[in-house]
Structure 1
Amino acid sequence: MQERAERRSNRDRTETTRAQLTAAARRLFAEKSYAETSTPEIVAAAGVTRGALYHHFADKQALFRAVAEEEAAAVAAEIEHAAPDDMDARQALISGSKAYLEAMQAPGRTRLLLLDGPAVLGRSGMDEIDARHGNRTLREGLAIAMRSGAMKRLPLAALTGQLAAAFDRAALAIDAGAPDAEQMDVISAVIEGLMLPDRAIPV
């Protein structure tokens, strides 16, 4: 019993330290950028030792990857909340797109995921993270829309990639000061253009 409690205590301490490091790193990366943030700043902000940092993460890049993974997961969670499984396929794509653009307005998120992410992890590294989170939700929504007959049948991987790139450009434009309503109008028009007309049932 005592051994089990000690294991649990050690696991709790590990999770707490890791969370402190990722939270501090997220704040500094968002404010200053990855390149301008040093590991001594991160450990000072987290209130842990340099040894603790390297116990949990191989290097600063590995810590950044963990931060990016958490941010991408948070975006995907907001999309899934806005577009539940029982929602009409057309509306789910529109609602999910709006949720993505809103989620990306969290301070520093476009820098973390769309600017520093590809620069630090490489395009393939960010693609792997996106495939587990935001692009996964988009791919699933498109697949459902095509299977249900609501959307034109197109190559799923190519369609997901091209729409995701459009969403990212819209998020960057909003971050630079463009009206979010205008960006959403364009995204909605693109999605509507992929939809098939409703088939009327003969009476």
Structure 2
Amino acid sequence: MQSSRSNQDRTEKTRAALIAAARALFVEKGYAETATPEIVAAAGITRGALYHHFRDKRDLFRAVAEGEARQVAMEIETAAAPAADLPVDALLAGSRAYLDAMAAPGRTRLLLIEAPSVLGLAETRALDEAHAVRTLREGLSDAGLAGAGADALGDLVSAAFDRAALAIDAGGDRPAYEAALAELIRRLVA
């Protein structure tokens, strides 16, 4: 039993080291400019260990993006839960939490620039659907914006959030984008 647990611990530590090293390099250099030998050197493991845990560099990138998307959703859900008395307040808290989550260094690049290029639109959309868009759609539904066209509405609002995150990451005025998103949400829910 002890050996099984120590093998599992070793596996988890190796995967975590690969993901952390890859994340740092993908943020610094981009996916295309990052080579697998750099990743394994930064992680302090062998190239064989990389391919034991991931099919290829793209599979490793998918794991990095999945972790980032999961973290964004968790931060949104944590922020929106205390504001759940009124659906509009939960949506407003969720929008602020999204911008906070996307302010993590490199996250906007990873999820909004690199992921569509590396994984393709369909896979990036599925990743988003499983995480941040899911929380947004739940919030819109709670606010009475469900039914026909709800998926399209969720896509459009999500695109507005993504555009705001990109603009802020490029040096845009966060308070202005936050206010614009709040106005958009209030008008949708009114």
User: Match of 2:106, as an amino acid?
Assistant: G
Partner AA of 2:129 in structure 1: A
Aligned to 1:193: 187
The answer to whether the 8 A contact 2:92-2:185 is kept is yes
- What are the within-5 Å matches in structure 2 for residues 40-59 of structure 1? 40-59=37-56
Matches within 5 A, 1:85-96: 86-96=84-94
Question: Structure 1 residue 117: deviation in Å?
Answer: 0.3
Larger Rg: 1
Q: Give the TM-score normalised by the residue count of structure 2.
A: 0.96
Question: Offset of 1:87 from its aligned partner?
Answer: 3.4
Retained in 1: the 8 A contact 2:90–2:139? yes
- In structure 2, what is the Cα distance between the partners aligned to 1:5 and 1:131? 39
Q: Any runs of at least 4 consecutive aligned residues in structure 1 with deviations exceeding 6 A, and if so which?
A: none
Q: Which has the higher helix share?
A: 2
Choose the corresponding residue for 2:22, options 8, 25, 31. 25
SS across alignment from 1:65: helix
Identity of aligned residues (%): 57
> Quick check: 1:83–1:96 contact (8 Å CA) kept in 2?
yes
Q: Map Cα deviations across residues 152-185 of structure 1 (whole Å, 9 max, x no partner).
A: 8662101110000111000000011101010011
Q: Structure 2 CA distance, aligned partners of 1:152 and 1:120?
A: 32
Superposition RMSD in Å: 1.3
Q: Is the 8 A contact 1:28 1:42 kept in 2?
A: yes
- The residue that corresponds to 1:63 in the other structure is 60
- What runs of 5+ residues in structure 1 fail to find an aligned partner? 197-203
Q: Which residue of 152, 172, 176 corresponds with 1:178?
A: 172
- The whole-number CA distance in structure 2 between the counterparts of 1:178 and 1:42 is 32
Who is 2:97 aligned against? Answer: 99
Aligned residues: 189
Distance 2:59 2:39 in 1: 13
Where does residue 151 of structure 2 map in the other structure?
157
Map 1:1-150; keep pairs closer than 5 Å. 4-84=1-81, 86-146=84-144
| Aligned 8 A contact 1:98 1:184 in 2 | yes
For 1:60-95, what per-residue CA distance to the aligned partner results, in whole angstroms no more than 9, with x for missing partners?
000000000000011111101100074321100000
Structure 1 CA distance, aligned partners of 2:113 and 2:15? 24
1:106-147 Cα distance to aligned partner (Å, 9 max, x none)? 11111100000000000101111111111111011111111x
